[in-house]
Amino acid sequence: MGRLKEEWMERMENEAMYEWIEDNYGDDAGEEGSDEWNDAVQAFDDYCENQAKLEQEAWEQDEYDYYLYLTLNDVDKIFDQEISNLKKLLKNSRAATNTPTFCKMIYAHAVTILEVYLEDMVKALIISNEGFLKNTIKNVKPFSDTKFKLGEISLEQDGIKKFVLRKLSENIFHDIPEAIKIIGGMVESKLNVNIENVCAITATRHDIVHRNGNNKEGDTLVIDKEAAELSIKTVECFAKELRNALKNTKT
């Protein structure tokens, strides 16, 4: 972060603090540097911390409510619909034949759809099955090798599930080997899936997103309509293979 940006952010934070203190303390805040002023600043810090906690709890509750009613069949339907929409967009757009940028967007978004599919699958299964929840805590990082403070986990109903969902949100589900580790640990079974092709697609997606379609050597990758179609097909095939593997584990 640049120095000017840091100074700007600090100034904005200070303005918010001054406004809050004026609204809540007025003249009772005293002069800057006084005990009264320091108490007001501490009260503002406590207020911000409490607001952040409330926002976090609200987000966790919303996420929990969403996955509470999301079945594995729902997850499949959402994925199939999104893939179908992407196919139609690529097929019907004139830009697909003469605009590399459009093809790069389609290519990358196919991986995004897969990423959401994997995350939805994991979280829906954990919420719906106590066994999968226990397996995740026992077998999946960071739960399996990290100690957590009790204060990090809400003691209210389903607080542990919400905590696990929150921690899993820190994972990058387009990291296919890591995603397979998570799912395998959750179902306590080695999943018989081939990840080579989809890993190649996600690697190219990384080059698109972070290097605008250039590889580490600086060479420009050819991302045309055919490549975009390959990305969609590879993602779709991998998702079906994974779903079949899960069926064999009796999820």
For 49-81, the pLDDT digits (tens) are: 888 888 887 878 888 888 989 999 999 999 999
CA atoms within 13 A on the CB side of 68: 9
The answer on pLDDT for 176 being more than 80 is yes
pLDDT score for 222: 92
Residue % of the chain over a pLDDT of 90: 45
pLDDT score for 207: 95
Q: Who's near 177: CB < 8 A, 6+ residues apart?
A: 195, 199
Contact between 246 and 191 (Cβ < 8 Å): yes
Contact between 228 and 90 (Cβ < 8 Å): yes
In this structure, the answer to whether residues 132 and 24 fall within a common structural domain is: no
Structure tokens at 25: 């303390």
Average pLDDT over residues 119-126: 94
In this structure, the answer to whether residues 59 and 155 fall within a common structural domain is: no
Output 249 or 229, whichever has higher pLDDT: 229
pLDDT score for 29: 78
Distances in Å between the Cα of 246 and the Cα atoms of 125, 209, 224, 238, 242 are: 11, 30, 33, 12, 6
pLDDT score for 102: 93
Which of these three, 23, 42, 68, is where a domain ends? 68
Output 250 or 184, whichever has higher pLDDT: 184
pLDDT score for 51: 86
SS3 149: coil
Q: 71-80, 152-161, 242-251 — which one is most confidently predicted on average? A: 71-80
In whole angstroms, what is the distance from residue 119 CA to residue 70 CA? Answer: 12
Average pLDDT over residues 166-171: 83
Which of these three, 14, 36, 68, is where a domain ends? 68
In this structure, the answer to whether residues 116 and 240 fall within a common structural domain is: yes
In whole angstroms, what is the distance from residue 245 CA to residue 121 CA? Answer: 13
For the purposes of burial, counting CB atoms within 10 Å of the CB of 112, is it exposed (0-12), middle (13-18) or buried (19 or more)? middle
Q: What angle do CA 44, 49, 53 make, to 5 degrees?
A: 145
Task: Find the domain containing 100 and state its range.
Answer: 69-247
Mean of the per-residue pLDDT values of the chain: 86
Structure tokens at 242: 């994974």
pTM of the model as a whole: 0.79
Q: What DSSP letter does each residue of 39-104 carry, written as one string? A: HHHHHHHHHHHHHHHHHHHHHHHHHHHHHHT--HHHHHHHHHHHHHHHHHHHHH-THHHH-HHHHH
In this structure, the answer to whether residues 46 and 82 fall within a common structural domain is: no
pLDDT score for 37: 83
Looking at the structure of the chain, the number of domains it has is 2
Output 179 or 143, whichever has higher pLDDT: 179
pLDDT score for 249: 75
pLDDT score for 153: 57
In this structure, the answer to whether residues 35 and 157 fall within a common structural domain is: no
Q: What angle do CA 99, 81, 93 make, to 5 degrees?
A: 20
pLDDT score for 6: 61
In this structure, the answer to whether residues 11 and 88 fall within a common structural domain is: no
pLDDT score for 152: 59
pLDDT score for 146: 66
